[in-house]
Structure 1
Amino acid sequence: MPGPGGGDLARLRQLNERTVLRVVREAGRPRVAEIVAASGLGRTVVEEVLQSLAGRGWLVEEPAAVTGRGRPARAWRFRAEAGHVAGLDIGAHGVRAVVADLSGHVLATVHERTTPALTRQKRLRTAGAALDTCLSEAGAPAPWALGVGTTGQVDATGRVTHCNAIPGWTGLDLAAHFRAATAPALVVVDNDSQLAALAEHRRGAAVGVGDLVLMQAGLRTGMAMILDGRLRRGSHGAAGDLSLLRGVAWEAAIEHLHRCPDVPADVPGVDRAERAFAEARAGRPRARTAVRRYVRAMAVAAATAVSVVDPALLVVGGAFSRSADLICEPLAEELSRLCSSVPEIRASTLGAECAALGGVALALDGIDRRLLADSRGRLPDLGVNSL
């Protein structure tokens, strides 16, 4: 039979490159023998691919730890510092930016407060300025990819299809805006609660958990689900959105904290909920009652998702996860009255940054799809920070 043609050989080399690169990224600092075993490729092929990827800036050869006599085996490392990604969380009350390397290691974070009344253009300028400041603090040029989280429903193209928290936000094409404003190679956009769940699953309280529900508790509320290890957005990006279900008292729950009698009248509205938690922690009865009422209202919404999904884990995320000591136990009690089975409840380990960190995860996923899943082209040289 005739041997493979030039096109077939080129595609085979491209597949081998992606296989070896994936093995090195996942393993950390593997030796050649470990790469051969994990990839299923022959040693000669692996050696050739390693040299090619190193010459084009993807990998670095490093001395391995000496474990005995003789010449130490060579180890290889993915050059995570070769590029950068960024995550943005744009909400009614603030904007957060995170810059990370290609392994997801966070290099810088920036937080800017806003108000719900801020105009669309001013909010977008604030988000852009926060991103620029974060990139500057990280010492990073333009990111390879940007993941943006926002309150409201987002379609597959990156357009906000519904948002009642930010005036003028519905209909905004966030993906197009940031492609034009920052010109990274890739812009991906999703709902902030969806991204918070993704971050908790990748690097937070839910690592290794297949089925989970995230309850985003903060100045705005939200919910998202990971099923079988995958984020579930739904057909229209609205999975977990309970904002229009009046019976669950989802949007009004925070008013129990805002109206807490133990919070002085001169405390600004944006800080009243956190002050109510502080007063409850100090043992003030009326504050503890306000927190319990807040949890009871949130539990109805959580029970709706828990009863449908039957997750192994419920994560309390968002800014109020800092007060998990006051939320988790009464939440479990309320769920025990409402659900036939109660999942384990954990507080977020990422706190208020979880949606921005989810943007980082979304950006990295986009790079993986473009570089590693697509075998139609040769991996580019990394002489420039772009795809």
Structure 2
Amino acid sequence: MPASPSTARAINDRLALRLLQEEGPLTAGQLKQLTGLSRPTVADLVERLTAAGLVAVVGESGRQRRGPNARLYGIVADRAQLAALDVRTEGVTVVVSDLLGTELTRASVPIADGTGTGLAVERAVVLVEHAAKEAGADRLHTVGIGAPGLIDPAGGELRDSSGLPAWHRRLVAALGECLQARVLVENETNLAALAERRDGAARDRDTFVLLWLGMGTGAAVVLDGRLRRGASGGTGEIGFLPVPGTGALPSATDCAGGFHALVADEAVARLAGEHGLTAPRTATGPYAAALVGAAVDGAASGAGAATRFLDALADRVAIGTASVVAVLDPGCVVLGGEIGQAGGALLAARVEERLARLSPLSTEVRASGLGGGAVLRGALLMARDAAQDELFGAPSRR
């Protein structure tokens, strides 16, 4: 059954907008060539998108640089402003961007342990408001939030999780009320996987697992191009995975006896100490990431202690990863988070070699291309996609 004229227009408009997003400004002739549409159809869709305020003439192209055929059309990036938040137990970082995801401003605020729920929420909201004002945004269209904890697959809401501050859940509602914006929240590791697939180490993979190694431990599962959350939103809670070497078992409320006890920040820092390694502490990021980075440099120059530490860390990472590989057979595991990025190709190669001994399933192991910044990037991508879906759908209703 052929599409109705309105449906055909909507399809053509979305195709043109996608091309303008991916390729940048284009002339009508270039749009005709890339879409395969007729010249009159392209002229009509350009007129519709311009009238809707979604595209505008942003320059001219060609040798003559004059006339209608030379006009370059681009998406109106300031049609909407977006915000992305990376919410950690110790603070919040926000980025404000335009509709194309170009960063306009960035800011952070620490929130210490023991800070009351109301005060913590207030500090985070004020941070976002000030960042929006600095970026010149009168109103934010969409806000994307990456946070630790489980996301309800049905309602998309952050669920109560033991060990996480109460202000995390309150913040989502508070931002929606104060900013009058659409607020979306997703598990931080899931957003990191989205970012790695779009812009990082998994750009060529439809199926992979992201193993997050940072202050905490988690995993995100992408199968056949789709992020899998599980019945309760708990897919990837690998920190609770019972593994040998911890001396205990995890419980429903505490992952201290699980995989978390082997590869999270404190555990990796202790392991480095056992090998006599030290590194300068940084103001941001897990201390273990600095230790791993120093070990990589040391191992590259032949330092024995650094090499032995990386070998021991790879042994630990491979233990939990082998269980994931045995169940999912993802073909690719990305070592994400600050520690995964700091370990780089050297740690990834060691883990891959150990997996080859532990499992008959061929698995490539890659180092993160984005590290700790993947959560914020993923939150921005989530906000950008949602805003574009809403705004770019407008021409189809004309």
Q: Per the shorter chain, which TM-score range?
A: 0.7 to 0.9
Cα deviation for residue 195 of structure 1 reads 0.3
Whether the aligned pair in 1 keeps the contact of 2:27 and 2:61 (CA below 8 Å) is no
Could you list the per-position Cα deviations for residues 185-214 of structure 1 after superposition, in whole angstroms to 9, with x for gaps in the alignment? Answer: x21111000000001111122223211211
Comparing 214-223 and 331-340, the one that deviates more: 331-340
2:328 counterpart residue number:
309
Shift of 1:109: 2.6
Relative distance call for 1:327 and 1:117 in structure 2 (3 A) is: farther
Within the candidate set 118, 126, 150, 2:147 is matched to 150
Kept in 1, the 8 Å contact 2:125–2:174? The answer is no
User: Equivalent residue for 1:331?
Assistant: 351
Q: Cα distance 1:159–1:211, how it changes in 2: closer, same or farther (>3 A)?
A: same
One-letter identity of the residue aligned with 2:210: L
Looking at structure 2, the residues matched to 293 and 120 of structure 1 have their Cα atoms a distance apart, in angstroms, of: 40
Q: Does 1:120 align with 2:131?
A: no
Secondary structure at 1:252's aligned position in 2?
helix
Secondary structure at 2:109 match in 1 = strand
Distance 1:158 1:334, change over 3 A: same
Q: Would you say 1:209 and 2:205 are equivalent positions?
A: yes
Deviation at 1:84, TM superposition (A): 1.8
Counterpart check, 1:356 vs 2:376: yes
**C-alpha distance 273-323 of structure 1, shift in aligned 2 (>3 A):** same
Q: Match of 1:50? A: 46
- Identify the range of structure 1 (265-274 vs 308-317) with the bigger mean alpha-carbon deviation: 265-274
Cα distance in 2, alignment partners of residues 369 and 337 from structure 1: 45
The 3-state SS of whatever aligns with 2:30 is: helix
The SS at the match of 1:154 is coil
Give the alignment of 1:1-387 within 5 angstroms.
Answer: 17-39=13-35, 41-67=37-63, 73-115=70-112, 117-156=114-153, 157-168=155-166, 172=169, 175-184=172-181, 186-247=182-243, 249-253=258-262, 254=264, 255-259=266-270, 260-261=273-274, 262=276, 272-277=287-292, 280=295, 281-282=297-298, 289-320=308-339, 321-324=341-344, 327-372=347-392, 377-378=397-398
SS at match of 2:159: strand
1:385 corresponding residue in structure 2: none
In structure 2, give the amino acid aligned to 1:189: V
Q: Corresponding residue for 2:254? A: none
Alpha-carbon offset, residue 119 of structure 1? 4.1
Cα separation, 2, equivalents of 1:278 and 1:39: 46
- Separation in 1, partners of 2:208, 2:312: 24
Whole-Å separation in 1 of the counterparts to 2:367 and 2:135: 29
- TM-score for the superposition, normalised by structure 1: 0.81
The answer to whether the 8 Å contact 1:88/1:148 transfers is yes
Q: Which digits, 9 at most, give the CA deviation of each residue in 1:133-163, with x for residues without a partner?
A: 4334433333211111111111143422242
Q: Could you tell me how far apart the structure 1 residues matched to 2:312 and 2:141 are?
A: 45
Give SS of 2:260's match.
coil
CA distance in 2, matches of 1:375, 1:205: 35
AA aligned opposite 1:194: N
SS of corresponding position for 2:32: helix
1:224 positional shift: 0.4
Give 5+ residue unaligned stretches, structure 2: 245-257
Asked if the contact 1:92–1:165 (Cα under 8 Å) also holds between the matched residues in 2, the reply is no
Inter-partner Cα distance in structure 2 for 1:326 and 1:17: 46
CA distance in structure 2 between the partners assigned to 1:266 and 1:74 by the alignment: 54
Give 1:363 shift: 0.9
Task: Give distance in 2, aligned partners of 1:323 and 1:204.
Answer: 16
User: 2 CA distance for matches of 1:43 and 1:265?
Assistant: 62
Mark the CA change 1:43 to 1:164 in structure 2 (over 3 Å): closer, same or farther.
Answer: same
Deviations 1:97-139 (A, max 9, x none): 2222222222333333444554433443343233234334433
Tell me if structure 2 keeps the 8 A contact 1:205–1:347. yes
Distance in 2 separating the partners of 1:289 and 1:149: 35
Per-residue CA shift, 1:354-387, capped at 9, x if unaligned? 1111011111221233234577744xxxxxxxxx
Give the match for residue 383 of structure 1. none
Q: Provide closer, same or farther for how the CA distance between residues 326 and 135 of structure 1 changes in structure 2, counting only shifts above 3 A.
A: farther
SS at match of 1:293: helix
Matched-pair contact (CA < 8 Å) for 1:226–1:232: yes
1:316 Cα deviation (Å)? 1.6
State whether residues 95 and 105 of structure 2, in contact with CA within 8 Å, keep that contact through their aligned partners in structure 1.
yes
Structure 2 distance, partners of 1:96, 1:54, is 35
Runs of at least 5 residues in structure 1 that lack an aligned partner in the other structure: 1-7, 379-387
Out of 201-210 and 8-17, give the one that drifted further: 8-17
**Do 2:60 and 2:66's aligned partners in 1 also have CA atoms closer than 8 Å?**
no
Q: TM (normalized to structure 2)?
A: 0.79
Conserved 8 A contact 1:84-1:145: yes
**Greater alpha carbon shift after TM alignment, 89-98 vs 278-287:** 278-287
